[in-house]
């Protein structure tokens, strides 16, 4: 059996209503006496006899909570994990008090774990969290769930958020398109101007650990994410009024599907990793491109409080119709991480990226610097983290229609985010998350000058 400490905290906690230590000498037993005999028999560790009595009681009443409790415990002790889990599940679904439902859910999780059904065990521990009778027992179950997740070769993550935004389409602040150094002024279409509304985002990832030992781990994974847009009434009316603009709300949506193979290896003073991915990206309802990506990362611990991390990837994009190689993207990042007192953490990041394309308007380089901070202790009901950053984006050659922009296009962006996780209000191990995002971009082409602000509301697993 695995997780012995989990067994002791669960099986010993199963409560038996009215289990006074008394032996009956009657040949004929009423229901209460039969329950008492089953309880005494189980207390003497006569598992088979106690189970037989419990099953007899359940033939009379399938909802007998005392009999279900005895059956769950004795079946577990006899190694019949399926019967133990099913009996515990029946207790959880009953109208029993929260403590008994909590203990039953933990026993169901332990039975599933002993069958190496770790995902099912995690589900049962999440159910236990919804009826945990005290903060101590809630924390215990969170720790057990985290341990079960480490044992599980399968890992999944879901992130969802929904946010009002003043600029769901990345549009310009003005209807005028002014190019520095060019005397002409253009008029932007409605879809090229900032439109307000609601922005929904979601991501689902699933990974499987192919192999793991003390020094390495190999995984395969799949990821799907996307964003969708709901325009406000005013924004939709603005689009409808522009008869030459055929854009619709769905045109501002995006989606990605990716499959990856990764390998992590313990290295001197840290870790080294390699990964490869294939994927596809949708813009609106159209498949924009497919891609192949290869990357690596290296983490080096300077000491107990300080670490350096570097990573890079190369991504080759392909035409979705004929699979001809098109653009190539390069990304390099360096990061310094410092662990502070109280579980806080600070970081500084420098990143360079470039896209090489035959289309001049898609060929660029960018530099990004970012500082991040995560506070270890809660402030009020929330655990706070955030970052501030600056990005410079440079196109050596850029055209707006037939006009070549003098000295190319240059965007300068300042951005930041503040996140609050309310773990005290978690339900089934999922905590509400509120994130404030803000950014402002200055450009020599006014089409790309914009201000963005939104407040995301979502949920996140606490383990």
Q: What is the DSSP string of 295-336?
A: EEEEEEESSSSEEEEEEEEEEEEE-TTT--EEEEEEEEEEEE
Band the pLDDT of 428: cuts 50, 70, 90.
confident
**Mean pLDDT, the chain, as a whole number?**
90
Same domain, 137 and 206: no
DSSP state of 166: S
Same domain, 216 and 325: yes
Same domain, 188 and 248: yes
Band the pLDDT of 162: cuts 50, 70, 90.
confident
pLDDT score, position 88? 96
Tokens 């190689």 -> residue: 325
Same domain, 82 and 193: no
Which of 90, 118, 151 is at the close of a domain? 151
Band the pLDDT of 460: cuts 50, 70, 90.
confident
Q: Of 27-31, 125-129, 405-409, where does mean pLDDT reach its minimum?
A: 27-31
pLDDT score, position 31? 87
Work out the angle between the directed axes of helices 81-93 and 65-77 (0-180°, nearest 10).
Answer: 150
Same domain, 309 and 373: yes
Model confidence over 375-388: pLDDT tens digits? Answer: 999 999 999 999 99
What are the structure tokens assigned to 135, written together?
């903060």
| 170 phi and psi angles, rounded to 5 deg | 65, 35
The dihedral over CA atoms of 301, 304, 306, 311, expressed in degrees to the nearest 10, equals: 30
Q: Is the pLDDT of residue 164 over 50?
A: yes
Which of 121, 151, 181 is at the close of a domain? 151
Band the pLDDT of 86: cuts 50, 70, 90.
very high
Domain count, the chain: 2
Could you tell me the CATH number of the domain that includes residue 16?
Answer: 1.25.40.10
Model confidence over 315-358: pLDDT tens digits? Answer: 999 998 888 999 999 999 999 999 999 899 999 999 999 999 99
Same domain, 183 and 56: no
Average pLDDT of span 287-301: 97
Average pLDDT of span 189-210: 93
Cα separation, 283 vs 226, whole angstroms: 10
- Selection from 141, 67, 158 nearest residue 103 by Cα: 141
Same domain, 240 and 333: yes
What are the structure tokens assigned to 402, written together?
């037939």
Same domain, 307 and 456: yes
Same domain, 137 and 197: no
Cα separation, 266 vs 217, whole angstroms: 9
Model confidence over 28-82: pLDDT tens digits? Answer: 778 888 899 999 999 999 999 999 999 999 999 999 999 999 999 999 999 999 9
Query: Domain span at residue 43?
Result: 4-151
Could you tell me the CATH number of the domain that includes residue 260?
Answer: 2.40.160.40
Which of 100, 119, 151 is at the close of a domain? 151
SS (H, E, C) 127-157: HHHHCCCCHHHHHHHHHHHHHHHHHCCEEEE
Average pLDDT of span 168-194: 91
Same domain, 144 and 158: no
Band the pLDDT of 459: cuts 50, 70, 90.
confident
Q: Of 61-65, 181-185, 243-247, 266-270, where does mean pLDDT reach its minimum?
A: 243-247
pLDDT score, position 20? 34
CA triple 143-148-154, angle to 5 deg:
135
pLDDT score, position 445? 95
Neighbours of 231 (CB within 10 A): 19
| Helix, strand, or coil (residue 463) | coil
* 234, 196 Cβ separation under 8 angstroms: yes
| Helix, strand, or coil (residue 67) | helix
Same domain, 188 and 332: yes
Select, from the ranges 176-180, 336-340, 426-430, the one with the highest average predicted confidence (pLDDT). 336-340
Same domain, 183 and 82: no
């Amino acid at each position: 059996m695995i997780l012995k400490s989990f067994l002791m905290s669960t099986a010993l906690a199963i409560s038996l209503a009215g289990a006074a230590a008394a032996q009956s000498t009657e040949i004929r037993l009423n229901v209460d006496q039969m329950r008492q005999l089953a309880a005494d028999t189980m207390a003497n560790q006569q598992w088979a006899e106690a189970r037989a009595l419990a099953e007899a009681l359940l033939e009379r009443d399938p909802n007998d909570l005392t009999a279900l409790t005895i059956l769950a415990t004795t079946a577990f002790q006899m190694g019949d994990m399926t019967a133990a889990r099913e009996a515990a599940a029946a207790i959880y679904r009953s109208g029993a008090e929260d403590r008994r439902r909590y203990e039953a859910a933990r026993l169901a999780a332990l039975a599933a774990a002993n069958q190496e059904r770790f995902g099912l065990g995690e589900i049962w521990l999440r159910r236990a969290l919804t009826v945990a009778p005290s903060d101590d027992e809630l924390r215990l179950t969170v720790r057990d769930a985290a341990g079960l997740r480490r044992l599980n070769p399968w890992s999944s993550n879901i992130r969802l958020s929904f946010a009002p935004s003043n600029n769901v389409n990345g549009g310009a602040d003005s209807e005028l398109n002014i190019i520095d150094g060019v005397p002409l002024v253009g008029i932007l279409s409605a879809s090229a101007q900032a439109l307000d509304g609601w922005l929904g985002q979601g991501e689902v990832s699933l990974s499987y650990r192919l192999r793991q030992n003390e020094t390495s781990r190999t995984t395969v994974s799949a990821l799907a994410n996307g964003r969708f847009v709901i325009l406000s009434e005013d924004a939709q009316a603005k689009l409808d009024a522009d008869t030459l603009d055929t854009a619709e709300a769905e045109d501002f949506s995006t989606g990605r599907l990716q499959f990856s193979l990764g390998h992590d290896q313990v290295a001197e003073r840290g870790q080294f990793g390699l990964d490869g991915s294939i994927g596809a990206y949708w813009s609106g309802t159209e498949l924009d491109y497919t891609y192949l990506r290869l990357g690596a990362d290296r983490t080096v611990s300077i000491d107990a409080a300080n670490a350096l991390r570097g990573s890079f990837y190369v991504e080759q994009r392909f035409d979705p119709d004929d699979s001809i190689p098109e653009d190539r993207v390069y990304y390099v990042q360096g990061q310094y991480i410092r662990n502070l007192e109280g579980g806080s953490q600070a970081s500084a990041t420098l990143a360079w990226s470039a896209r090489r394309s035959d289309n001049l308007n898609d060929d660029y380089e960018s530099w990004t610097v970012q500082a991040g901070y995560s506070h270890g202790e809660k402030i009020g009901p929330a655990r706070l983290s955030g970052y501030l950053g600056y990005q410079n984006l440079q196109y050596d050659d850029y055209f707006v229609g037939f006009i070549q922009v003098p000295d190319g296009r240059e965007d300068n962006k300042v951005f930041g985010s503040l996140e609050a996780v309310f773990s005290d209000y978690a339900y089934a191990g999922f905590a509400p998350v509120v994130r404030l995002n803000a950014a402002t971009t200055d450009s020599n082409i006014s089409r790309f000058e914009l201000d963005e602000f939104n407040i995301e509301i979502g949920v996140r697993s606490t383990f």
